[in-house]
Structure formats: structure tokens, C-alpha cells
């Protein structure tokens, strides 16, 4: 089992720092003056629509490719200058990258030996990722989910304080998704820096503590998950009563706005079930149903990235230039 990091592990030792990072491919600016710090002891969800620049940013953090300008450092140093990179940063970028003709165990053993890591780590990470039983099977026979677990095992091999995982839930079944949530939480609790990319806000908020959202290479949000939820998903209550006329009058008098939905329930924005329940009790209005409900975070996220996505989707296609015939 990896050793827990001592408390007070200096932030700068394990944080990922991105400063004015820009990467252009020909005419495309994949990352655009991005500045953020990914801190230790928490899971940072890295979100953005397709093509927002998440993978490019992670690749630059890992020294794969040179920035057009700006810097990305891990523990204050560019990845390329780390003396024992696998002991510092564990990454899952492309789960398909492993050599198909090797067994999972040989693949890990090869990496361990070439990085001067103890061979016992191989069996530890195989156990940790649930791959012990298939360790001697060739990787080409692995399902997508098994490859994903192997990619995670590879990332964990050097017991690194920093982890970067690009879409780690890709291909995992529901049990695998629950497993990875627990794993990520534990890694963060141990004081590690955990950066996880995803497209899905609703998924990310189930495990992340912090969010960094990109749109067309630019930073759109860098906030704690709790703040994002409070900001973008205000409280809302759904209520059913046998006396809607009085409930409406009482709530309007208190400054609430309410609207009736299709099935006869009333929706009160900006209120909690506790508030509405107390008012109804005081006024003697019978309630048949009372439910706290948050607006969809996915919708808030879509609204945040909408301009960026629209821009990407709005490629002009005039009939005169259309290739479709």
C-alpha cells in the first residue's frame, strides 16, 4: 500500500502550476494563455467540451510537446527536468498505448525495472486495480475497462504524489466507476494532487473537490465544487398541496416566485424544503409533497461553456461552398 503523505506536505512541492500556457497547432490555438494551479490533497476535475484543450494541457504538463509560450511545472519544475518522473507524476493519457503482445505483469515489470522502481510495486498495483487474476494475460485480450485499469496501475506504479488521469472512467462499468471514485478520493486524502479530466459535469461532481473548466483553450472557471453548486444550481423546491390558492398567496406575500408544473406541483425557485415546510405549517396549509431539488449542474455547465461550444459549432456552411452533393 502506498505510504500516506505527511500532513503539511508543502503545496509547492506537489502542485501543478500552469502560467500563461499557450499552444498553437498551425492556425489552431489549443491552449490560450491558461493560468491555474492544481493543488494537493484534493481531486480537481478538469472539464471542457470536445476540443477545449484538456488533453493538450495535460500533455504539456507531462513535457509531451513544447508550449508555444508560457510554462507548466510540477512541484516547481518542468516535467522534463524531473530526475525520477514516475516517482513524481503518474499519468493515464491513452489506455490503448500499452504493448498488446505483453502480459499486464510484464508490461508493468518492464516499466518498473527501467525506472528503477521495486518489482514488488508491480504486484501491489495489480492488486490495487483488481487485475491480479488477469496479470498473466496478454494485453491485447483485455477489454477497454481492463486496459483502463492497467493504465491506472501504470500511473500508480511509482507511488507518485501527483496523478493526472485523462478520462479514467472511459470504458469502466458502473462497478468500475464506483471503484475509481473511491480510489481517487483515497489518493487525494493521502495528500496527493489528483487531476482528472472529463466531459461530464454530473459525473465529476460525484468525486471532485475542485473544478477547472476550459473552453477553447481558455480558463472559464477555477472554483471549489461546492461554490460551483451554490452559484450555478440554486435551491428549488417542488411542492404539492390541496390548497394551492392559499399557498400561492402566502408565498407571493413573502416574496417567493412560484410556477405550476405540468402535473399540478408547484415549483418555488430560490427556496428550500425547510423554508416552505415551516411557512406551510405556520399557515396551516396541508402539504401532500415537498421535495428539495437542485437545477441540473450539467445545464449550468452547458451554459458556462455554451458560447465556446457555439463558436466551435458555428462553422459557416453556405450552400455555394457545401461539399455535400
Ligand X SMILES: Nc1ncnc2c1ncn2[C@@H]1O[C@H](COP(=O)(O)OP(=O)(O)OP(=O)(O)O)[C@@H](O)[C@H]1O
Contact 72, 17 (CB under 8 A): yes
User: What is the pattern of x (binds ligand X, CB under 6 A) and - over residues 185-204?
Assistant: --------------x-----
Determine the angle formed by the axes of helices 273-283 and 244-253, rounding to 10 degrees.
110
Instruction: Name the burial class of residue 70, with classes exposed (0-12), middle (13-18) and buried (19+) by CB atoms within 10 angstroms of its CB.
Output: middle
Q: Closer to ligand X at the Cβ: 27 or 319?
A: 27
Considering CB under 6 A, how many residues would be counted as binding ligand X? 12
> Judged by CB, which is closer to ligand X: 50, or 321?
50
> Considering the rule CB under 6 A, would residue 305 count as an interface residue with ligand X?
no
Cell readout for 110 is 518492464
Cα 78–Cα 79–Cα 80 angle in degrees, nearest 5: 90
Q: Which phi and psi angles does 324 have, rounded to 5°?
A: -80, 125
Whichever of 50 and 322 has its CB closer to ligand X, that residue is 50
- The strand ranges marked E within 153-234 are 162-166, 193-198, 210-215, 218-224
Cβ nearer to ligand X, comparing 93 with 183: 93
- Binding of ligand X at residue 311 (CB under 6 A)? no
- Shortest CB 87 distance to ligand X, Å: 26
55 binds ligand X (CB under 6 A): yes
CA–CA dist 287, 289 (Å, integer): 6
Whichever of 22 and 275 has its CB closer to ligand X, that residue is 22
| Selected range binding ligand X among 10-18, 48-56, 135-143, 239-247, rule: CB under 6 A | 48-56
Going residue by residue from 25 to 44, which x/- string records binding to ligand X, judged by CB under 6 A?
x--x-x--------------
Task: Specify the stretch interacting with ligand X by CB under 6 A; choose among 22-30, 69-77, 123-131, 301-309.
Answer: 22-30
Q: If DSSP codes are grouped into helix, strand and coil, which group holds residue 241?
A: strand
Quick check: 51 binds ligand X (CB under 6 A)? yes
Spatial separation of the C-alpha atoms in residues 49 and 302, rounded to whole Å: 9
The residues that touch ligand X, with contacts defined as CB under 6 A, are: 25, 28, 30, 48, 50-56, 199
Amino acid at each position: 500500500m502506498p505510504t500516506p503523505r505527511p500532513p503539511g506536505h508543502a503545496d509547492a512541492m506537489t502542485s501543478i502550476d500552469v502560467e500563461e500556457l499557450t499552444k498553437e497547432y498551425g492556425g489552431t490555438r489549443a491552449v490560450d494563455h491558461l493560468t491555474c494551479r492544481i493543488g494537493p490533497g484534493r481531486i480537481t476535475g478538469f472539464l471542457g467540451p470536445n476540443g477545449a484543450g484538456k488533453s493538450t494541457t495535460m500533455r504539456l504538463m507531462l513535457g509531451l510537446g513544447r508550449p508555444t509560450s508560457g510554462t507548466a511545472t510540477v512541484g516547481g519544475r518542468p516535467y522534463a527536468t524531473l530526475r525520477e518522473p514516475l516517482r513524481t507524476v503518474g499519468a493515464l493519457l491513452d489506455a490503448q498505448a500499452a504493448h498488446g503482445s505483453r502480459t499486464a505483469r510484464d508490461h508493468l515489470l518492464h516499466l518498473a525495472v527501467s525506472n528503477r522502481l521495486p518489482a514488488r510495486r508491480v504486484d501491489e498495483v495489480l492488486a490495487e486495480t483488481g487485475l491480479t487474476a488477469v496479470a498473466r494475460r496478454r494485453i491485447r485480450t483485455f477489454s477497454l475497462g481492463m486496459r483502463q485499469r492497467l493504465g491506472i496501475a501504470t500511473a500508480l506504479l511509482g507511488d507518485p504524489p501527483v496523478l493526472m488521469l485523462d478520462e479514467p472512467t472511459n470504458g469502466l462499468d458502473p462497478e468500475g466507476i464506483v471503484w475509481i471514485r473511491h480510489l481517487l478520493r483515497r489518493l487525494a486524502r493521502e495528500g496527493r494532487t489528483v487531476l482528472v479530466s472529463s466531459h461530464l459535469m454530473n459525473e465529476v461532481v460525484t468525486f471532485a473537490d475542485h473544478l477547472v473548466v476550459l473552453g477553447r483553450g481558455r480558463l472559464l472557471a477555477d472554483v471549489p465544487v461546492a461554490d460551483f453548486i451554490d452559484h450555478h444550481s440554486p435551491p428549488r423546491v417542488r411542492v404539492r398541496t390541496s390548497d394551492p390558492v392559499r399557498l400561492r398567496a402566502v408565498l407571493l406575500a413573502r416574496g417567493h416566485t412560484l410556477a405550476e408544473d405540468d402535473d399540478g406541483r408547484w415549483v418555488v425557485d430560490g427556496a428550500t424544503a425547510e423554508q416552505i415546510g415551516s411557512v406551510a405549517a405556520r399557515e396551516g396549509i396541508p402539504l401532500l409533497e415537498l421535495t428539495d431539488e437542485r437545477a441540473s449542474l450539467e445545464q449550468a455547465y452547458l451554459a458556462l461553456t455554451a458560447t465556446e461550444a457555439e463558436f466551435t459549432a458555428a462553422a459557416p456552411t453556405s450552400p455555394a461552398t457545401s461539399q455535400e452533393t
